[in-house]
Amino acid sequence: MKQNNESPFRMWSAFAWILGTVCMPLAIPWVVFNIVAAWKFKLFKNKLQGKVVLVTGASSGLGEALSHEFYKAGCRVILASRRQDELKRVRECLLKIHKTQHIHPPVIIQLDLSDTNSIPDFVNQALNIFGHVDILVNNAGVSYRGQIVTTGIDVDIKTMMVNYFGQVALTKALLPSMIKNHSGHIVAVSSVQAKIAIPYRSAYAASKHALQAFCDTLRAEVACHNVKVLVITAGYINTNLSLNAITGDGKTYGVLDETTAAGFSPEHVAREIVKNVVLESKEITVSQLVPRIAIYLRTFAPALYFWIMARRAKKQQM
């Protein structure tokens, strides 16, 4: 009986030892960092007051949530998306909910990122409204589900046009004015798939890998002009992204993935993004635990990661 009573105690002692010697030294700096970050955000959050913020993909999901967060922080918000009716709905919602901010009513401009030839005119229109743009939030995007061997190249091109070339074209069109003003902030809403690639997401992962590389280079080149670059490495967010994803033959996927449905709320992610804009962070990860672990495995144990992805591909074969 004595031996049985001591066994759980020994297990708990071993767990407590691991917690104290391994986890605590890691946890303490993490706690301190978050306390300091919260203090800095509280101290500097008013710096957003009056800033001109251009949000793409503002008609729904994370873009809509970001519009609310920036608007209630006192920003002058420009809402951009393909769906003008939905933009009007978001604008009316902002005016109704945040009644104290009516001094700067939101402005809506229609934007199709896949039409890169129209982007210079769009930027001129945006700059003519307030004279400048302080913060560009590259949030619009399209997702993809499909098998490489059966996916038409036009689907790859469409995904890259929206998720990469369109955002690059918009950034390049706005950048000269930011450099001239020696001030600006580029925010790119990316994905954990910018750092890892999972089966049946090839076009989407490729576009996010490209955007990550572009932003890392951009950050270095514009630092001397006081232009900041923030990349959001996002995990699963509970939006319609998977519902609106395109498949290998160009059709709409139309399925809400379980992982997407269980993802973070757009409001939570939007708050994290706005907080890190204020803190002038360079890159943040807003993700669940499993994608974070996958990123570390891909970096430090690639052979294991590749084995896991091969098993996943076989299990989920389309």
How confident is the model over 116-121, as a mean pLDDT? 96
pLDDT over threshold 70, residue 189: yes
How confident is the model over 46-73, as a mean pLDDT? 95
Containing H/E element for 255? none
pLDDT over threshold 80, residue 24: no
Q: Which residues contact 76 (CB under 8 A, 6 or more apart)?
A: 50, 51, 52, 53, 104, 107, 130
What confidence tens digit (pLDDT) does each residue in 90-117 have?
999 999 988 765 578 999 999 999 999 9
Q: Which amino acid is at 135?
A: I
What confidence tens digit (pLDDT) does each residue in 129-157 have?
999 999 999 999 999 999 999 999 999 99
- pLDDT score at 35: 64
Q: How far apart are CA 79 and CA 66, in angstroms?
A: 10
Higher pLDDT, 226 or 38: 226
Q: Are strands 283-286 and 227-234 parallel, antiparallel or unpaired?
A: parallel
Compute CA distances 242 → 54, 209, 246, 250, 263, whole Å.
24, 19, 8, 14, 12
How confident is the model over 291-304, as a mean pLDDT? 95
Phi, psi of 233 (to 5 degrees): -90, 95
Q: How far apart are CA 112 and CA 280, in angstroms?
A: 29
Q: Could you tell me what percent of the chain has a pLDDT over 70? A: 85
Q: Which residues contact 270 (CB under 8 A, 6 or more apart)?
A: 62, 65, 66, 68, 69
Q: How far apart are CA 241 and CA 60, in angstroms?
A: 10
Phi, psi of 284 (to 5 degrees): -135, 150
Q: Is 90 helix (H, G, I), strand (E, B) or coil?
A: helix
pLDDT over threshold 80, residue 3: no
How open is the CA angle 49-53-59, to the nearest 5 degrees?
125
Task: List active site positions.
Answer: 204
Residue 62 tokens read as: 């994370």
- pLDDT score at 2: 47
Q: Is 187 helix (H, G, I), strand (E, B) or coil?
A: strand
pLDDT band, very low/low/confident/very high, at 236 (cuts 50, 70, 90): very high
Q: Which amino acid is at 262?
A: A
Q: Could you tell me what percent of the chain has a pLDDT over 90? A: 79
- pLDDT score at 110: 96
- pLDDT score at 98: 84
- pLDDT score at 15: 56
